[in-house]
Structure 1
Amino acid sequence: MPEPTAPSSRGAIDLAAFKQPQPEQLNETGDAGVPTWVRSVDQEFFPEIVALSQQVPVVVSLGSPRSPASVQLDELLASVVDAKGGTLAMATVDAEKEAAIAQAFQVTQVPAVIALINGQPVPLFQGNAELAQIQSLIEELLSLGVQNGVAGTIAPLGTSAAAAGEEAAVVLPALHQAALDAIESGDLEAAEAAYKQALNEKPNDNDASIGLNQVRLLMRTEGKDLAAVRAAGAENPDGLAAQMEVADMDLIGGHVEDAFARLVGFIGRHSGDEKEAGRARLVELYSVVGVGDERVVASRQKLARVLF
């Protein structure tokens, strides 16, 4: 989804500056125009795969192209994944070339297959597997995705070159386009309404959810005086509203790490409803920046420490 451009107002900036490439940019050429939800991934693109796992479960196959067993396993996995028509995706990783990814998953032998749901690893199996076993595991994985609110449908990650050329002009869903048009005209309330309607019609619309969080950030910060907000935050370090306002202004001003650190600190010092409200706001800001962004990944680790 094209990123919304902020309307002209005090403190507003182009939120696209925060965002990493979206999962739709992970295109890879498939065979003879047949759509595929499988692609090879290196360390550079792995954050996008992690982000994609918030929409659908992602199967990660770590192997070696020099291993016939790995190649055969990937073919079996790909056939099952593609048969699901976008309800899950698959990333193949050359564990020899991408040792950092293998180490992150603590993989010591290949082939090894792991899934990602909401960025969290779910071990599946090591070594070879029969088609029936793979199909059964995939069904269990999809059920686990539903239980964790990850049950969307995504466009193919790859098409043939000819098909890609035909689809070069991307047409956004009508409500998404209406929201972007409203943002460009400065009507944030209309943009919010359009994104909310999109989510009412399709609760798993991840792009609409991100867009809604972006618009709400702009609405909260529009017309605010940075100095006054900072002064109020300094006077009331344990006030939830004051600290969330400063975090919003920090984020919109490009001070991403400061915004995250402020809310993580607040969450660590409080309990009950205030703690949960701070956590919910922080998760919103994560989506605005992009779940694959390294600053979000680092902050999530700090958040986990203060939560658990």
Structure 2
Amino acid sequence: MQPRNMSMSGVVDLGAVKAAQEAKTKAEQARAEAVRQGGGGAISPADLVIDVDEAGFESDILQRSAEVPVVIDFWAEWCEPCKQLSPVLERLAVEYDGRFLLAKIDVDANQMLMQQFGIQGIPAVFAVVAGQALPLFQGAAGETQIRQTLDQLVQVAEERFGLTGLTVDPDAVPGGGGAASDAEVPVGPYDALLEAAVQALDAGDLGGAIQAYKNVLADDPGNPEAQLGLAQAELLRRVEGLDPQRVRADAAGKPQDIEAQITAADLDLVGGHVEDAFGRLIETVGRTAGDDREAVRVRLLELFEVVGAEDPRVIAARRALARALF
């Protein structure tokens, strides 16, 4: 399977909206199945680095990315910088102890994957998290830069998608699927409610999903999965049934109408135009005052929550918002 349906820029889309909740559920189900089959769900350190081809892309990368961030190293035998970078990535994959999985793709043998990812030169390193692909860096990179990038990746994967990585056991048999264990998979106190929210989203019941997330937050106001899920579900409900052409025409023709700008920003974000959504509202903040300005600011903060606080686009937009306000 080729990654033609994947979001190559990490933007918000209908598939990504549910990924945060589904990813954790799928990971727990996979670990539970490993326990039932006599394994503890742990893997050998040798299994943290895998070779992947086009035939195995779906099972080795897309499916695994619902459980752990998958870092992809595009390389070739003739590429000298690759020979310097690849060993560093392999060593760090073991050092990070299951917080990410390293997939190596030989571009000479997998030209289609190289084209699908839009790679112009190697070495090139991407990540896939909960089915969403994003570029990490291209060309030679120092170990300090690589570590900083990986640290940010695993943090975002855990905070936004609930991916805590793989369990690594030095005694596990390489390729054996894990070591024997009688341990049971822990169940969180809100897993049933979060699963109910996912099921509501699957059924198109946005109101039911919103209520399920609110039920979690009533007892645990800081629950990151519920906060993200609620923000995304409310965004989807706001744009449900809108006519995109009319919304954009209203926003273009009524620059002083804050509701028109807010609605257009919602639509921009769902369509993946993250910078456009942020820029539209920041400009509106700059030309409004009082209650109107506050309404726009609050919506902008809600959209920040949807994208994620660690996203570079959010960080840049926060700085721009501060300049517009002060």
Residues 1:219 and 2:237 aligned together:
yes
Distance 1:174 1:232, change over 3 A: same
Q: Is the 8 A contact 1:244 1:281 kept in 2?
A: yes
- 1:42 equivalent among 147, 162, 172: 147
Contact 2:262/2:296, CA 8 A, preserved across alignment: yes
Cα RMSD of the aligned pairs, angstroms, is: 4.0
After superposition, where does 1:288-299 map in structure 2 within 5 Å? Answer: 288-299=306-317
- Alignment counterpart, residue 161 of structure 1, candidates 144, 153, 169: 169
Distance 1:50 1:13, change over 3 A: closer
Shift of 1:209: 0.8
- What's the CA shift for 1:158? 8.5
- The whole-number CA distance in structure 1 between the counterparts of 2:308 and 2:186 is 21
Aligned amino acid, residue 212 of structure 2: A
1:232 and 2:247 aligned: no
When residues 170 and 215 of structure 1 are mapped into structure 2, their CA distance, relative to the original with a 3 A threshold, is farther
Q: Which residue of 2 aligns with 1:276?
A: 294
Q: Which residue of 1 aligns with 2:321?
A: 303
Q: Paired residue for 1:196?
A: 214
Residue 29 of structure 1: which of 94, 97, 105 is its match? 97
Task: Confirm or deny: 8 A CA contact 1:12 1:222 kept in the other structure.
Answer: no
- The residue number in structure 2 matching 1:103 is none
Matched, 1:182 2:250: no
Aligned partner of 2:273 among 215, 238, 255:
255
Q: For residues 236 and 174 of structure 1, do their structure 2 counterparts lie closer, same or farther at Cα, with a shift above 3 Å needed?
A: same
1:13 alignment partner AA: L
Residue in 2 that maps onto 1:244: 262
Is the partner of 2:147 in helix, strand or coil? coil
Q: Deviations over 1:8-46 (max 9, x none)?
A: xxx973235998x99x9589439xxxxxxxxx9822134
State the distance in 2 between where 1:180 and 1:200 align: 18
The more displaced of 154-163 and 241-250 is 154-163
Shift of 1:235: 2.2
Q: TM-score, normalised by structure 2?
A: 0.49
- Which amino acid in structure 2 is aligned with residue 292 of structure 1? E
The one-letter code of the counterpart of 1:192 is I
The one-letter amino acid paired with 2:169 is A
Q: 3-state SS of the aligned residue for 1:223?
A: coil
Quote the sequence identity (%): 40
Question: Which residue does 2:106 correspond to in 1?
Answer: none
| Residue pair 1:250, 1:256 contacting (<8 A) in 2 also | yes
Q: 1:175 to 1:231 in 2, by over 3 A?
A: same
What is the TM-score normalised by the length of structure 1?
A: 0.51
* Partner SS, residue 42 of structure 1: helix
**Distance in 2 between residues matched to 1:224 and 1:251, nearest whole Å:** 14
Deviations 1:237-286 (A, max 9, x none): 12121111000111111111100100011111112222122111111111
Q: Tell me: CA distance 1:202–1:269, structure 2 relative to 1, closer, same or farther (3 Å).
A: same
* Partners of 1:192 and 1:215 within 8 A in 2: yes
C-alpha separation in 2, matches of 1:305 and 1:54 = 28
Q: Which amino acid aligns with 1:15?
A: A
Unaligned 5+ runs, structure 1? 1-10, 31-39, 56-153
Aligned CA distance change for structure 1 residues 229 and 43 (closer, same or farther; 3 Å) = same
Unaligned runs of 5+ in 2: 1-11, 25-66, 70-94, 99-143
Distance 1:155 1:53 in 2: 5
Distance 2:223 2:18 in 1: 22
**Retained in 2: the 8 A contact 1:18–1:290?**
no
Letter in 2 for 1:200: A
- Supply the AA of the counterpart residue of 1:250: D
Paired residues of 1:29 and 1:161 also in contact (CA < 8 A)? no
C-alpha separation in 1, matches of 2:166 and 2:318: 30
1:206 and 1:242 map into 2 onto residues whose CA distance is 30
Q: How does 1:55-70 map to 2 (within 5 A)?
A: none
Distance in structure 1 (CA, Å) of the matches to 2:235 and 2:216: 18
